[in-house]
Chain A
């Protein structure tokens, strides 16, 4: 079986500085992988490269998503094909309500999949059910996208978007950072609810804590722009005990 996501020898620069230096990774449908690594190891760069953010220049290597060249697609095309990035720092958009945002996003993605647009009633029903499941207050819909949201609310809002858009491949970039244990459980439940044989996920995290709630199939250690170790979930525990320093040395 071919991988859902295949990253081969990926090199990427930001402002002329090489951040990813030969990263390779293969994720199959149904799998959840975790990437752990110290600050500056390239975790967020990887997530932005996968989502297609400007300013992140791939200088070498390739990324195949469902066998297609992901890097050749515009960001909206990637989303329409089922790629989703839960942002480490969700963006505030004054003047756009969360409802409007979600509706435009869902309808754009549905249209791309050849599905009909949802009418206002169907859409609100879907939204309300999803929010209830995620334990989110309905007033978050009327508020402008992420404006004045607490850190936890922003992260829940990312999970709400993910739950509504139902991506095939999701990258969660430090979605656990800054969350208290209750919020962490909500986020983890949201992620676990989406686990399915035809989906895959990549969790990017600094801490092992998240992996108590979302148990990964594979754990990778990222250091200086490359994967330096891969293993099962026990690798995360080992990291927690020994710290990143040793792995950083391996990468050097």
Chain B
């Protein structure tokens, strides 16, 4: 059987960029070339997912599949003067700036990296430090069989590699700015990121995705994370892509004993944005906290898919996602918690709440618990509701104009998430984003 016949769109996509694949494989070390080929073969076999696939049934992909993207679009004009408005306001400390998926050395600065911490681009690591990545590529949970992870492997050209030696402590947050900017032809890029933290290492990574055009582009990223014993990673992301952009992000993390992964995703941009996080709590007392806040309107689709695997005893996870949906926007939350037979005393809590501002907006919630141990504490919940009329009237009766009252209530709805996770420098950016969204 010609497997490819099942996914003509996938094959067509690969063939369209055959030149790029040849270029990437040329001169690559055998392990790398093999990994890329495995990626393209997997994608050729699977193709783009369709709504018939359970994990993708709420996601309309036709616009993405029909998109005519360019892998070698001319560099978008972007310079230092434009950085101010899209960074978190602090003086540049440790910052990588990517424009259309490519590191811009001239805009990046690594002046305050603490001892034991290395940050370099994926392209640079492939060239000069392959040992930093060779053993890690493709190991993260959730990547096997994932169509967009396969596509990423075939085309990944750049990204960031953060390596923390055991005990290393990053004093200041490491900021990664991703700028998307459409040229004549919408660009596509496949960022490949890797964070490896040795035992007891601590770091905070803030990723900020911004679109500086009104047009389309496609970002298909994979971030692999491996946290050693007792390591701590705070991982914050602000997704503010252009309103026509496609943002596909898969993150997979392995956590050793006592490691702690804190994820916060704030999603406000993109025509279609999917943020998928897979966490394997491999070691005893590994803990993760996945928080998300999102706002969508118009025809936007925003998807949060999480898969948490409690492998070992006494592991714990906490999830809280809150979204505000207006217009004809569609929100998707798919959250699976698996508790393996060995994972006694596991604790998994999941909550997903949506605020619907229009009767055409929709939220699709799909929690799944799969529990194979008997002494565990797991819970999940999902709510969807409208703005509280009584609260709105109360605010207005005190003189607060309706638009401002609505903004206050939306901010209040999201406050639980933002208060719990936002770093001081991020809060202003988030509040500004929410206010801008409400005023639009």
Contacts and interface: CB of A to CB of B under 8 A. Distances in A.
A and B: interacting chains: yes
B17 interface: no
Interface of B: 388-391, 393-402, 404-405, 408-409, 411-416
Interface in A144-184: 144, 161, 165
Interface string A77-113: 0111000110100111111100011001100110010
12 contacts: A52-B397, A53-B393, A54-B393, A78-B397, A90-B394, A91-B393, A93-B394, A96-B408, A96-B411, A104-B404, A108-B398, A109-B399
B396 A76 contact: yes
Contacts of A93: 388, 391, 394-395, 409, 412
Contacts of A198: none
A49 to B, nearest CB: 12
Contact of A91 (B391, B408, B413): B391
B408 A108 contact: no
Contacts of B394: 87, 90-91, 93
Nearest to B413: A95
Contact of A112 (B395, B399, B409): B399
B284 to A, nearest CB: 36
Contacts, number: 81
Given A93-B409, A95-B411, A95-B415, A108 B400 contact: yes
Contact of B400 (A76, A87, A91, A144): A76
A74 interface: yes
Interface of A: 51-54, 74-76, 78-80, 84-85, 87, 90-96, 100-101, 104-105, 108-109, 112, 144, 161, 165
B398 A91 contact: no
B290 to A, nearest CB: 20
Given A76-B401, A101-B395, 9 more contacts: A74-B396, A91-B391, A93-B409, A95-B411, A95-B416, A104-B398, A104-B400, A105-B398, A144-B412
A79 B398 contact: yes
A79 B416 contact: no
A75 B397 contact: yes
B400 A105 contact: yes
Contacts of B409: 93, 95-96
Minimum-distance CB pairs A-B, first 4: A95-B412, A79-B399, A105-B398, A91-B394
A93 B410 CA distance: 11
Contacts of A51: 393, 397
B128 to A, nearest CB: 49
Majority secondary structure of chain B interface residues (helix, strand, loop or mixed): helix
A112 to B, nearest CB: 7
A85 B411 CA distance: 25
A91 B405 CA distance: 14
Nearest to B410: A95
A94 B412 CA distance: 7
A52 B389 CA distance: 13
A52 B394 CA distance: 11
Contacts of A52: 396-397
A90 B398 CA distance: 12
A80 B391 CA distance: 18
Contacts of A108: 398-401, 404
Indicate the member of A75, A78, A85, A87 with the most B CB atoms within 10 Å.
A75
A96 B395 CA distance: 11
Contacts of A95: 409, 411-416
A144 to B, nearest CB: 8
A93 B405 CA distance: 11
A94 B415 CA distance: 9
Nearest to A96: B412
Indicate the member of B393, B394, B402 with the most A CB atoms within 10 Å.
B394
Nearest to B416: A95
A90 B397 CA distance: 11
Indicate the member of B395, B404, B413, B414 with the most A CB atoms within 10 Å.
B395
A104 B389 contact: no
Contact of A161 (B391, B393, B398): B398
B389 A54 contact: yes
B396 A79 contact: yes
A20 B64 CA distance: 59
B293 to A, nearest CB: 12
A165 B398 contact: yes
Contacts of A80: 399
B416 A165 contact: no
Contacts of B390: 91
Contacts of A92: 391
Contact of A104 (B388, B393, B397, B408): B408
A64 B399 CA distance: 19
Contacts of B400: 76, 104-105, 108
A20 B337 CA distance: 56
Nearest to B411: A95
A165 B397 CA distance: 11
A93 B415 CA distance: 12
A199 B414 CA distance: 39
